[in-house]
A = this chain, B = another copy of it.
């Protein structure tokens, strides 16, 4: 069960998710969210392709990054936001299929940094990821909206 404070955090992540123009442009959708984790999905289109008809690494990386940001965001306060400091991603096998799915889990939530793992899956395969990433995000004060 999710307490009220967490429920607020989840709601904030849902709102922020929509604001990232590039993520909307690529077509990545939030598919699930809870304290310390997030899931996204992407209906694959021809425009996502790499030269050899596979989904481009950049699509997978964008998905891993943004999903990790959502996961980390569920654990921060109302006056904080997360920004990606760095990540590493391994492409494990060609990404084929009509959709991608990404799952991100916070590995370590600190006061100023969050470390998150993300896995990208393609097509119907829910067990063997096509990409695996480890990300470091900074927890910073939210810019004032005044």
Contact = CB atoms under 8 A, between A and B. Distances in A.
A58 B134 contact: no
Interface in A68-97: 81, 83-93
A100 interface: no
Contacts of A14: none
Interface of A: 16, 19-26, 46-52, 55-59, 61-63, 65-66, 81, 83-93, 107-108, 110, 112-113, 115, 117, 128-129, 132, 134, 136, 138, 143
How many copies of this kind of chain does the complex include?
4
Nearest to A47: B25
Given A22-B47, A51-B19, A65-B58, A132 B113 contact: no
Contacts of A61: 58, 61-62, 65
Given A19-B51, A22-B49, A88 B91 contact: no
Contacts of A52: 143
A134 B88 contact: yes
A117 B20 CA distance: 27
A21 B56 contact: yes
